[in-house]
Amino acid sequence: MAAKRKGSSPDRLIRPLVRKLHGYVPGEQPNVRGLIKLNTNENPAPPSPKVIRAIRSAADERLRLYPDPAAQPLRETLAKFHGCRPENIIVGNGSDELLALATRAFVEPRQTGTIPLRQAAKQTIQYFTPSYSLYPILASIHGARCNEVKLPAGFELPDNDALRKGNWNFSAALTYITTPNAPSGRGYTTRDLTRLCEAQNGVTILDEAYVDFADEHSLRLAKRFPHVIVSRTFSKAYSLCFQRVGYFIGHPALIGALDRIRDSYNVNGLGQAAALATLSDTTYYRKQFKRIVRLREKTSAALEALGFDVLPSQANFIFARPTGLTAAEWFRQLRQRNIVTRWFDAPKVRNRLRITIGTETEMNRFLDITRSIFRQ
């Protein structure tokens, strides 16, 4: 143990920016037997048996070796899957890693003092609220300017005229758009996103973490516009949160920039093996998507029958506003009965619960308990 120096708390060794930082608060991962976990949008189905076999057979004496630094076979397979080239793809330790790398590659840290608007835009990270709550944290970590733009009451994507009238900055260095949106579940059409992307000057990331549950995706925008990147993940739809594999698709110049600043072995070997095996069994996953979408619609209808307001969802979760009790109380009473959902204590969203679609049995139990809570 180091000797104590009077008046010299180790805090002073930490950068002021980091000292003041509030880290991202992930959804709880409680280790409680029998718990129904509907809080972090994980897929209730296991990965395909091919994936489990691939991980098992990769867990041998090769564990002592570094994995493929460029995730080359995975990038080649993804390129075939999406009809692009491996140079259009970078793989990350979850898409979260890539979202963070984008701040470092595309955004100047904030300078103090008065600076011209154009320069301020180069230091700006922009996103809608509510959307993925990691974005403001990434902006603070990087010391960037933040431009938060409120979505309308129904969480629809505003058109360009409405954005122009508000505080949207079409020249922000980096814009994140969650599509389908989280936590609302609202899908944004490719037509509307095209109009927005056409008007954008900075790098625009379409974060499609939940897109496999939606009617359409916007990959073609990443192929058409050099400033647009589409972000995807194996976590949600492909039941692979544990392995941490996500990827970006975009212009080779932007992808190359991210590649230069990533850690050499950023994607672990078992994750690469699991993702490759996933792509060899897409039939298995497509069945899961259909099942989840069917259950999503059934659960929404059941809650609507109770008089709740449920937003139309294009994701594997729903965002529901109860009547008769507050969302906070609904959350608390579900939690007492071993069902965990997500309640955000923030303006405009604290009157709703975000509920991940689980198995049929889990959703039946969730609905039975909800009915009994609201009957009381």
Distance between alpha carbon 135 and the CA centroid of its chain, in Å? 9
Site string for ligand PLP, 172-191 (x = CB under 6 A): ------x---x---------
Is the distance from CB of 51 to CB of 250 less than 8 angstroms?
no
| Site residues (CB under 6 A) for ligand PLP, limited to 210-239 | 233, 235
209 touches ligand PLP (CB under 6 A): yes
Nearest-CB residue for ligand PLP:
94
Question: Least distance (Å) from ligand PLP to the CB of residue 5?
Answer: 40
Contact track, ligand PLP, 28-47, x by CB under 6 A: -------------x------
Bridge partners, 37 (sequence order): 340
Report 292-331 residues binding ligand PLP (CB under 6 A). none
**Residue 92 C-beta: closest distance to ligand PLP, Å:** 8
Q: Tell whether residue 96 is a contact of ligand PLP (CB under 6 A).
A: yes
Q: Are 75 and 88 in contact (CB under 8 A)?
A: no
Q: Does 207 bind ligand PLP (CB under 6 A)?
A: yes
Residue 242 CB, nearest approach to ligand PLP (Å): 10
Nearer to ligand PLP, 123 or 341 (CB): 341
Q: CB neighbours of 124 closer than 8 A, spacing ≥ 6?
A: 107, 144, 145, 146, 147, 169, 172, 173, 174, 202
**Judged by CB under 6 A, does residue 95 bind ligand PLP?**
yes
Distance between CA atoms of residues 252 and 256, nearest Å: 6
* Residue 123 interacts with ligand PLP (CB under 6 A): yes or no: no
Of residues 71 and 120, the one with the C-beta less far from ligand PLP:
71
111-142 b/e (C-beta count within 10 Å ≥ 16 → b): eeeeeeeeebbbbbbbbbbbbbbbbbbbbbbb
Q: Which neighbouring-strand residues pair with 229?
A: 205
Choose which of 132, 238, 248, 343 interacts with ligand PLP (CB under 6 A): 132
The secondary structure of the chain in percent helix, strand, coil, rounded to multiples of 5, reads: 45, 15, 45
Size of the site for ligand PLP (CB under 6 A): 13
Does the bond joining 26 to the residue before it have cis omega, within 30 degrees of 0?
no
> What phi and psi, each to the nearest 5 degrees, are found at residue 54?
-65, -40
Query: Cβ of residue 297: shortest distance to ligand PLP, in angstroms?
Result: 21
**Chain-centre distance for alpha carbon 215:** 18
Tell the smallest beta-carbon distance from residue 283 to ligand PLP (Å): 23
Minimum distance, C-beta of residue 357 to ligand PLP, in the bound complex (Å): 14
- Does the footprint of ligand PLP cover residue 246 (CB under 6 A)? yes
- Neighbouring-strand partners of residue 150: 129
- Would you count residue 94 as binding ligand PLP (CB under 6 A)? yes
CA angle 172, 173, 177 (to 5 degrees): 70
Instruction: Please give the residue ranges that form the binding site for ligand PLP (CB under 6 A).
Output: 41, 94-96, 132, 178, 182, 207, 209, 233, 235, 241, 246
